[in-house]
Structure 1
Amino acid sequence: MRVMVLVKATEDSEKGFLPTAEAMAAMEEMGKFNDELRKAGILLTADGLTPSSKGKRVAFDGRGRTVLDGPFTETKELVAGFWLWDVKDMDEAVAWVKRCPNPMPGPSEIEIRPLYEMADWQRDSEA
């Protein structure tokens, strides 16, 4: 099963990456965790995202499109980074996230969401 593992943004992550000694040590620790994921054959891809101030949103309303410039105000609803993993089940994904170093300097949250697979669509159409 493939899952998207989402690192939720915080006020700190929205300020952008500052190459302090503490931040560099945290990045090194996360790099080691990513190496463990690779060795276990779980990691498909991973990356961090720049602050929302550098992003845009496109709002859809029928045929209309509106472009909105960042930053976006609801920090707790933003994503600061992600992994795409291939795990046997949700329990395995949770076990790996519990081993993960804290991705932020303070309190943080990681969300795990299964991806739709072709079999999910086929089951739904047969029902």
Structure 2
Amino acid sequence: MRYMMIMQVEPEAAARAAQDLDMEAVVAVMGAYNEELQKAGVFLTAEGLSDASEGFRVDFSSVPPVVTDGPFAEAREVFTGFWILEVANREEAEYWAKKCPLGPGIALEVRRVPEIQEMGLPEDNEWIQKRQEWSAAQA
């Protein structure tokens, strides 16, 4: 099963907590965590995200969709990075999520990534077959 761990940061709380942190030490701890995930064979990918000021949101409430540049003042929390893990079950996903070396003002939202077969679509659908080919090509 694949799970996505999405890092959510409450910017003010995280900034206060990070004031006295040694960023080299933070990077080292996170690197060790990622290495542990890799050695356990559950690590698929992880990436940090740019600041929300560089992002945009697409709202599909109208036609054509409306694009709004960030930052998004109404957002209390922002997404700053993610991991995708391949684990046996929810309990294993929880295990790795709880081990993530994060601190005050930061939370992880963990969501299962469903397999395409779980979506109830016919397997002979042209686009389902293409998606499977794309996935196989990336592996």
Structure whose CA Rg is larger: 2
Structure 2: stretches of 5+ with no match in the other structure = 123-139
Alpha-carbon spacing, 1:62–1:107, altered in 2? closer, same or farther (3 Å): closer
Q: Does the 8 Å CA contact 1:14/1:75 hold for their aligned counterparts?
A: no
Number of residue pairs aligned between Structure 1 and Structure 2: 118
Q: Does the 8 Å CA contact 2:8/2:79 hold for their aligned counterparts?
A: yes
Letter in structure 2 aligned against 1:22: D
Q: Does the 8 Å CA contact 1:13/1:80 hold for their aligned counterparts?
A: no
Runs of 4+ aligned structure 1 residues displaced above 2 Å come to 12-15
Matches within 5 A, 1:1-127: 1-11=1-11, 22-73=22-73, 74-76=75-77, 78-102=78-102, 104=103, 106-122=104-120
Letter in structure 1 aligned against 2:29: E
Determine what percentage of the aligned residue pairs are the same residue: 34
- Deviations along 1:21-48, one digit per CA (max 9) or x if unpaired, are 6122111100110000011110100011
Give me the CA root mean square deviation: 2.4
The Cα shift of 1:14 comes to 8.9
Structure 1: stretches of 5+ with no match in the other structure = none
Q: Does the 8 Å CA contact 2:11/2:105 hold for their aligned counterparts?
A: no
Alpha-carbon spacing, 1:75–1:23, altered in 2? closer, same or farther (3 Å): farther
Q: Does the 8 Å CA contact 1:13/1:51 hold for their aligned counterparts?
A: no
The Cα shift of 1:13 comes to 9.3
The residue matched to 2:47 in structure 1 has which SS? strand
The residue matched to 2:31 in structure 1 has which SS? helix
Letter in structure 1 aligned against 2:111: R
TM-score (norm 1): 0.81
Matches of 1:14 and 1:36 in 2, distance apart? 25
